[in-house]
Structures are given as C-alpha cells and as structure tokens.
Amino acid sequence: MSYRMRTLSLVVLLANCAVSAAAQSAGDADAAIAQIGHRWATATYATPEDRQVAVYQSALDDAQHATAAFPARAEPKIWQAIVLASLAHAQGGLGALGKAKQSRDLLLEAEKIDANAMDGSIYSTLGSLYAKVPGWPIGFGDKKKARAYLDRAIEVDPAGIDANYFYADFLIDQGEYAAAQAHLERALAAPPRPGREDADEGRRAEAKKMLSMLHEKHAGALAAN
C-alpha cells in the first residue's frame, strides 16, 4: 500500500471513530435526559407528598450532572429548570422564589441552544413560572409575559398535552373559562409521546381533574359562551 493510500485509510478511520464517538455521546445524552424525565414523573405522579422533596432533589442532582456533561444540549437545562420549579412548589417557603429564578434563567439559557427543544417546553414552563410567581416587588411574575410565553408554546406544539394544559391553567386564573375548556380538551386529545408514557398518563389525569372542576365551578359561564 502506498503512503498516500495509508494516509487516506488513516483519515477515514479517524473520521469513522469521530462519528462513532459522537453517536455514543448523543446516545448517552438521550439516555440521561430520558432518565431525568422518568424521575420527575415518578416524583410528581407516583410519590406521596411527604416524600416528594427528596425524590425531586435526587432528580435535580441527575439533571445538574447531565447539564454539566452535555452543555451543548438544551434538554438537560430544561429538565433542571422543570425539576427546580417542581421542587420550589413542593418545598414552599422563602427558598421557593430563588429556585423559581434559577429555573427561569436555565430556561433562557436553553432557549439560546434550541428554542423548540422538548416540543416547546421552554415556553410552557416559562409561561407557568411568570403566571404563578408573585409580581414586583416580591418576584418576577408578570401575566402579560406569561400569556406571551404560553402563546409561543402553542405555536411550537399546537396539539401538545403540556402546552394546552398550562395554557388552560392560566386561562382559568384569568376567568377565560370557555377558552380554558377548549385547551383542556386539546390536551386530552394530544398524541402520545413515545418514551414519556408516565408523564402523559399523569398529565392527562390532571387535565381531566381540571376539566371536571371547571365544569362544576363555572358551568354557568361556560353555558353563556
């Protein structure tokens, strides 16, 4: 074999190794991301309230490790933000606002990497945060920003279960009951997400409960529309 052929063979071999390493890294990232999602779903939908904080904290540790290991991926940051927001809600108290701010900042960082990652979860989570966090001077809550982010989530994933569920939750708080009902019905009709069956089952149960409460408490307003 000539020197030129040996050099070409070496280049091809190194290129194949690089592709294989990249594929392995992507596979590792996907597995880590999926695991965090399952840990969050377990904490949210299958853990008693008095044990949720510990399970969320464990999931947060995993998310932080994944964020450090795969800095070019948006998904670990998104999951870290989601787990932080859930942990803040479960813990309550003075530390909740700090965790909410960390969650917001992680989502804004993730947006710079891949704005549409995880079917618009960046925007549905930001919308929920801005809707639920107290406004100035205590926190950063802002109903107009909440609506804008939730509108963006619907643009990214118009038939998605999360985008429609969180928009419905916001609309109920705003007294827009007919629109909330429509989004809840879309959430319940959302296509399944492969690999996220546990989260889908839990979110669907939440949407059914919210829709039932909406009918019970605001039947008159819904009938008027």
What are the tens digits of pLDDT across the range 69-95? 999 999 999 999 999 999 999 998 878
Query: 143 with 136: CB under 8 angstroms?
Result: no
The predicted model scores a pTM of 0.86
Whether the predicted pLDDT of 66 surpasses 50: yes
Segment 41-63, tens digit of pLDDT: 999 999 999 999 999 999 999 99
Distance set, CA 17 to CA 1, 6, 134, 136, 158 (Å): 22, 16, 51, 53, 40
The DSSP string of 109-133 is HHHHH-TTHHHHHHHHHHHHHHHHS
Cβ-in-10-Å burial (0-12, 13-18, 19+) of 138 comes to: exposed
Tell me the average pLDDT across 104-110: 98
Q: Smallest Cα–Cα separation from 122: which of 112, 132, 131?
A: 112
The residue to which tokens 């309230």 are assigned: 49
Regarding predicted confidence, which is higher, 24 or 192? 192
